[in-house]
């Protein structure tokens, strides 16, 4: 029998079309701009959280092998026990939930991922969305999706968008209550094709790179202003089912984000030679009549926006042009859900 303090949740990564890059409030994770993303299928995190009230063990987590009570939080990611920064980050996040639930119990967290960790494939979005849902349920909290998205935001900004499936808008807001994600109705049937340039952990976390960009990049204020207009244009494109307008603004917004981070001091450059080759391939494909646009996150990998009905054809063409890279099609995925 499962402990009443145990729950498992599953969440998918999301890829932003209009990016979140920079915080107005570091501790509450309030962004400087609103963002728009697509939650994807595949790219999944499943996480079990067990708060230890006594010596009951959680069958699913396989936790506390000795059956003895835990004195502090523990974290296992894909079979590896974590210490140091990853554990501290999860503990700090669990404190938000413990405070809200009025409990002071240590937790065992066990997580399984199909997303390579820290490679710019939005692993923190699926990770903190799944953790937020599992931990709040295990702590006995009954939260609305909006409340859950506000809590997930505290773990990793982009995680607030993975609470919902499909297209999602994160309203920047100005405080904890007004900064939340919500679904956006869309008649467009979109897909994202991931061109995997590198699955290695990136040289600098998005958290650090963002901070450096906000603090030192002379281009950052211009990107913030441009992003407000981009967001309006993107939402208008979605409501008019205008894929070309959406693709164009998404590509421009991603390039602007990278321009801002490259002009930080010191500049943050995630691109590899194959990244540039993939961007050129996408632009060349456009001249050949493909409706494709690229976006990139904090990493070397390239994501290509296309219509779902054309995604396989686009993927085949990208495989021909980028024979050394794995190319995967992702369709829209569902929001976070409690597994048990």
Query: Mask of contacts with ligand PMV, 127-166, x by CB under 6 A?
Result: -----------------------------xxx--------
CB of 231 to ligand PMV, least distance (A): 12
Helices (H) and strands (E) in the chain, counts: 8, 14
3-class DSSP assignment, residue 38: strand
Total interface residues for ligand PMV by CB under 6 A: 15
183: its two tokens: 């679904």
Pick one of 16, 58, 97, 292: the residue that binds ligand PMV (CB under 6 A).
16
Q: Considering the rule CB under 6 A, would residue 35 count as an interface residue with ligand PMV?
A: yes
Judged by CB, which is closer to ligand PMV: 21, or 294? 21
State the nearest-atom distance from the C-beta of 147 to ligand PMV, in Å. Answer: 19
- Helix, coil or strand: residue 88: helix
- Closer to ligand PMV by Cβ: residue 134 or 168: 168
Provide the token pair at 305: 């926006």
Q: Which string of x and - marks every residue 277-316 that binds ligand PMV (by CB under 6 A)?
A: --------------------xx------------------
| Gap between the Cα atoms of 118 and 279, Å rounded | 21
What are the Cα distances from residue 2, in Å, to 39, 133, 138?
A: 30, 17, 11
Q: Which of 3, 33, 34, 124 binds ligand PMV (CB under 6 A)?
A: 124
Residue 305: HSE in the Cβ half-sphere, 13 Å Cα cutoff: 28
Strand partners, 30: 25
Tell me the torsion sign for CA atoms 169, 137, 11, 116.
Answer: positive
Contact with ligand PMV (CB under 6 A) among 111, 179, 206, 295:
206
As measured in angstroms, the least distance from the Cβ of 190 to ligand PMV is: 16
Determine which residue in the list 100, 146, 207, 321 makes contact with ligand PMV, applying CB under 6 A. Answer: 207
Q: Could you check whether the bond before residue 294 is cis, i.e. omega within 30 degrees of 0? A: no
């Amino acid at each position: 029998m499962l402990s009443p303090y145990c729950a498992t949740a599953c969440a998918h990564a999301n890829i932003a079309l209009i990016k979140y890059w920079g915080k107005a409030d570091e501790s509450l994770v309030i962004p400087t701009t609103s963002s728009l993303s697509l939650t994807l299928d595949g790219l999944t995190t499943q996480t079990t959280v067990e708060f230890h009230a006594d010596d009951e063990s959680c069958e699913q987590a396989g936790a506390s092998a000795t059956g003895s009570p835990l004195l502090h939080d523990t974290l296992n990611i894909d079979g590896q026990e974590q210490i140091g920064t990853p554990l501290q980050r999860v503990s700090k996040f669990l404190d938000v939930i413990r405070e809200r639930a009025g409990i002071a119990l240590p937790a065992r967290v066990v997580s399984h991922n199909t997303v390579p960790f820290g490679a710019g494939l939005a692993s923190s979005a699926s990770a903190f969305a799944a953790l937020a849902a599992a931990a709040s349920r295990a702590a006995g909290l009954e939260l609305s999706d909006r409340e859950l998205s506000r809590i997930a935001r505290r773990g990793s900004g982009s995680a607030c968008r993975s609470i919902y499936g499909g297209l999602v808008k994160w309203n920047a807001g100005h405080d904890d209550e007004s900064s939340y994600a919500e679904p956006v109705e869309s008649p467009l049937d979109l897909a994202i094709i991931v061109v995997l340039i590198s699955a290695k952990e990136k040289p600098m976390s998005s958290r650090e790179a963002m901070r450096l960009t906000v603090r030192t990049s002379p281009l950052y204020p211009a990107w913030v202003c441009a992003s407000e207009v981009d967001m309006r244009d993107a939402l208008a494109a979605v409501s008019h089912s205008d894929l070309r307008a959406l693709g164009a603004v998404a590509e421009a917004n991603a390039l602007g984000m990278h321009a801002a981070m490259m002009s930080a001091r010191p500049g943050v450059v995630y691109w590899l030679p194959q990244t540039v080759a993939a961007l050129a391939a996408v632009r060349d494909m456009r001249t050949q009549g493909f409706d494709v646009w690229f976006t990139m996150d904090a990493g070397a990998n390239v994501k290509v926006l296309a219509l779902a009905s054309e995604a396989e054809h686009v993927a085949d063409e990208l495989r021909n042009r980028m024979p050394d890279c794995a190319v995967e099609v992702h369709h829209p995925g569902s929001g976070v859900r409690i597994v048990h």
